[in-house]
A and B are shown apart, each in its own frame.
Chain A
Amino acid sequence: MDLITPSLGLIFWQLVFFLLLVFVLGKYAWRPILSSLSEREKSIEDAIELAKKTRNEMAQLKADNDKAKADALIERDAILKQARQTAEKMIATAKNEAAQEAKAEVEKARKAFREEQAAAVAKLKNETAKIAVEIAEKVLRRELADKNSQEALVNDWMQDAKLN
């Protein structure tokens, strides 16, 4: 029966010491501990929130970067294409011009040559005619110097004329 008999003294001391403990721990331990705990929890939550936000920002930034890079690539391709086209066009134009110029040059040369040739031919004709006249004159002078020869010649011409 001793076991289930609460003794007055122990109830008294238990009450005194337990209430003291509740008071002391409540004021000097639980309050600071609990407030530190909730503070830390809040700071951890904030940190996680911030990290999430930062991560999103980073992702956004990366996306922006990628987009800018892609745009730049497209632009570069466009510029290169345009440059190539321009170059091709320039080369084509240059070639064309060069060809035309060469043709003109050749034409000019040919024309000059033809003129030279014509002049040379004309000069040669003149020279030849002059030489032939001179030779004929000399031959005639010598042939007509005697009478027989004049007659023979006339005979020749006559024969020729008959033949014709």
Chain B
Amino acid sequence: MSRNRSYKALAISILTLVFSVFSSSATFAQHEHESHAEATHTHGEAEEFNPGQTILHHVADEHQWHLATIGESHMAIPLPVMLYTPTRGFNVYSSSEFYHGSGEHDGFTLHHEHFTSEDGSTVYDFSITKNVASLIISVILLIVIFFTVRNAYAKRQGKAPKGIQSAMEPFVIFIRDEVAKNYIGEKHYRRFLPYLLTVFFFIWINNMLGLLPGAANVTGNIAVTLTLAILTFIIVNFNGRKTYWTHIFAMPGVPKWMLIVMTPVEIVGMMMKPFSLMVRLFANVTAGHIILLSLLSLIFIFKSAALSVIVGPFTVFMTMIELLVAVLQAYIFTVLTASYIGAAVEEHHHDDHH
């Protein structure tokens, strides 16, 4: 058992390392790209309409909550900027300081939503960005909703559900019975229910909030999906039992020499699971946003208000599909998480298959 534990700890540290390498290499690539983009970046609105840039700007995170631009004036809610540098420690500013002129303030420069320090030291950005603000709103909403539901259960004990309670109950029961109980099994599902329910409702509500005009694209942000995927990965591997680990490191019924091939494949497979979770949610939500924004951009590309007669209804149609995708992706993430957990906690009972 203790050997099993140490295997587990080893595997987890390897995988966490791989994940962090992935994210840092992505960061390098991004920096490289940014230097190319710099030349073309502009703030003025007299410029030619650039749909690609506009769309990417809308699906990406920013340090203020930009609502609208009317003529020359930007309507934006300033958000707190919190920066940490090894040389200067923590500094807190208002984001409005950085959205004027050159974007330089108190030795920090904001360029393309990235901070650089004058003294050249690395800047760790812990700002409450638009996505973080939206995240907080969604957390508050979820707490308010489910505290209301809980109070309804306390008040109407043993009675039929009513109002928001009856709106949420089918989903809670569905996650409990069709997802958790179904994929994890009667014996273990209870432990994972809080995580599964929270993941489901968190993704769903953020997907839907993201569809509101002027809202942030939280679940379409790779950092958010990465965090959720890593949490799932940690939960799966910390609950992996003997069957799970032997299937990875010593696939039963396979000739010993084959394990040289099988084990790396299994390890890759083990990491592909959270990786696919991360990419699937991110790509689906972002793609939906890009489609909607592209449709609306058509009006500006052709500079024709008449086009909105066609684009308008089609955008409404697409938004409805996005509403479906919102719940569907939340469900898929939850189901896959549950099935990975189910595979991890599975007892050794089907060795006759191998």
Interface 1/0 per residue, A79-117 and B, CB below 8 Å: 000000000000000000000000000000000000000
Closest beta carbon of chain B to A50's beta carbon, Å: 14
Q: A15 to B227, Cβ gap below 8 A?
A: yes
From 1 to 31 in chain A, residues with beta carbon under 8 angstroms from any chain B beta carbon are: 1-15, 17-18, 20-22, 24-26, 28-31
Does residue B8 face the partner (Cβ distance < 8 Å to A)? Answer: no
* Among A3, A15, A22, contact of B60 (Cβ-Cβ < 8 Å): A3
Main secondary structure of the interface of A (DSSP, over half): helix
Across-interface contacts of A3 in B (CB, < 8 A): 56, 59-60, 222, 286
Closest beta carbon of chain A to B61's beta carbon, Å: 6
Closest beta carbon of chain B to A109's beta carbon, Å: 97
Bound-state CA distance A40–B173 (Å) is: 12
A13 with B132, Cβ < 8 A, contacts A25-B143, A37-B169 known: yes
Main secondary structure of the interface of B (DSSP, over half): helix
Q: B34 to A12, Cβ gap below 8 A?
A: no
* One of B23-31, B256-264, B318-326 contacting the partner: B23-31
Across-interface contacts of B176 in A (CB, < 8 A): 34, 37
A-B contact count (CB 8 A): 137
Does residue A39 face the partner (Cβ distance < 8 Å to B)? Answer: yes
A29 with B147, Cβ < 8 A, contacts A2-B60, A40-B158 known: yes
Interface size on A, residues (CB 8 A): 35
Q: B29 to A1, Cβ gap below 8 A?
A: yes
Q: B231 to A9, Cβ gap below 8 A?
A: no
Q: B61 to A10, Cβ gap below 8 A?
A: yes
Does residue B113 face the partner (Cβ distance < 8 Å to A)? Answer: yes
Q: B221 to A10, Cβ gap below 8 A?
A: yes
Q: B30 to A5, Cβ gap below 8 A?
A: yes
Q: A21 to B202, Cβ gap below 8 A?
A: yes
Does residue B157 face the partner (Cβ distance < 8 Å to A)? Answer: yes
A residues contacting B by CB (< 8 A) are: 1-15, 17-18, 20-22, 24-26, 28-34, 36-37, 39-40, 43
Please list 17 pairs of residues, one from A and one from B, whose beta carbons are closer than 8 Å in the complex, sorted by A's number.
A3-B56, A4-B26, A4-B30, A6-B23, A7-B129, A12-B126, A15-B227, A17-B132, A17-B139, A21-B139, A26-B194, A26-B195, A28-B150, A29-B146, A30-B146, A33-B149, A34-B172
